[in-house]
Structure 1
């Protein structure tokens, strides 16, 4: 049994921490809204803490799944931050999707304190977190990754180290770029089918088993055809991620024209009041032109 701290109990972090507890780890949780930490601790027979530092004290592994770069800095740094409470040799595992820049910044600070660091953003959405079948993309030293991997197996189906610190976040950006293009293509296909009088379900039955098939097609086409966008990852969060993608592309000289275009389409969705709709709402944008 390892002593683990988990910082951030949102739709992803709450279930992930729950899997750690179910897997026999001793888990202490922190959440900005303390009542949520208390509720989690009661439900999962764990412990709650009022600050990240308190949660991290004595933990071998400190996991985080918060909102953005600033949120991550706030739970790591300062007198009440996790780094202030972590012991030498402990490992910080960040499951937040953030920039590679802040990842390397925090990893350097952690190293100065004798703390290991693994950036480990996840893919699979809320359902993947609840079912413990997330894909985990990792960056960090081989030693830190090897030490942390058994704990991550509580909620990860695929866990892979892709390089040193920052590699996990870069891989997650590639994931988001691929999703953005796929969702736009699927939206246009279903929109054309509807405008042409085709049965959308019948169309998907025909094309999903071939080269056009994708996770998005299988799992989102029904709700898209039903004009229902209350599922999965929100547009506001996707735009946050795509901004990181575009910045990363500029940093290394990568051309990302489709990503830039779809980012603007998501901006249109936000203007429609759809910031909390899921990413498949690109279909809603197309319908708005009818």
Structure 2
């Protein structure tokens, strides 16, 4: 297929690369054009100066940018992708954004006979680079079937969650669960360190039982060493948690732990950890311990 990919950040750059390597003709756009040129040098394909130019002639247009406003900026207007998309083409938004935006985009696309899927991903930078992402999809089953071969280029699991907006709602659940798990792991590791336990022996034991998790397997050792340079930044996690908390306010859900962990991430930001990865929750415990001492 001829496809366009809009947004070449830490996730979009490798995702678009997998599409090109999968035999598809990929046209890319990035707000910083030099990044698009860098992508072309590495993978091939072609780079364009506007989203509309990149989307011209594409059967499927992928978007992976920062937030709701960023999505609108590359979708709408004379230079947005919708200006160039023809009837029967598909817009897939991989941005973690609001369910409200997904429904808005679905309506805007329908008015032009363009099909739409909201399809946020989970798996972090490593998952994107290794082609092992999980994709949570909102939209129509027939539309998903049309783009499934493309999604398979960078995913290990693709699951339809329901109508437009459902993919974003599922991603909110994903982030809610991660927040609680990382906080629990941070507290457990800090307790273990203060108790004089050996990190490797400890994790070898408890990771095989009910306490085991992806976070424990992949982040416990680096958390212990105070290393937090592994992709998904605290700033972005706070953005995602705010989306979840706002949606909870609309649907009547109570998220006391999520709200608390969101404030813990604010503490990490205040410590200068805006670009630390999400496992950096443990830094505030260490700082608190030193202050207490």
Post-superposition Cα deviations, 1:13-69, rounded to whole Å, max 9, x if no partner, equal: 010000000000010000000111122122212011110001111100000110111
Give the match for residue 30 of structure 2. Answer: 31
Q: Does 1:286 align with 2:285?
A: yes
Aligned partner of 1:170 in structure 2 is 169
Paired with 1:175 and 1:93, the residues of 2 have a C-alpha distance of 19
CA distance in 2, matches of 1:57, 1:141: 24
* Structure 1 counterpart of 2:201: 202
Supply the distance in 2 between the matched residues of 1:216 and 1:132 (Cα, whole angstroms): 19
Corresponding residue number in structure 2 for 1:47: 46
Partners of 2:172 and 2:178 in 1: CA distance = 10
Alignment of 1:71-86 (within 5 A): 71-86=70-85
Query: How far apart are residue 232 of structure 1 and its match?
Result: 2.3
- Equivalent positions of 1:1-290 (< 5 A) are 2-290=1-289
User: How many equivalent pairs are there?
Assistant: 289
Shift of 1:5: 0.1
Return the TM-score normalized by structure 1.
0.98
What SS does the aligned partner of 2:288 have?
coil
Question: Equivalents in 2 of 1:3, 1:283: separation in Å?
Answer: 45
2:125–2:230: 8 Å Cα contact kept in structure 1? no
For residues 218 and 19 of structure 1, the distance between their equivalents in structure 2, rounded to whole angstroms, comes to: 26
- Name the CA distance, whole Å, in 1 between partners of 2:41 and 2:30: 14
Spell out structure 1 runs of 4+ moving beyond 4 A. none
SS at match of 2:106: helix
> Taking structure 2 as the reference length, what is the TM-score of the superposition?
0.97
2:8/2:30 contact within 8 Å kept: yes
RMSD of equivalent CA atoms: 0.7
Question: Unmatched 5+ residue regions in structure 2?
Answer: none
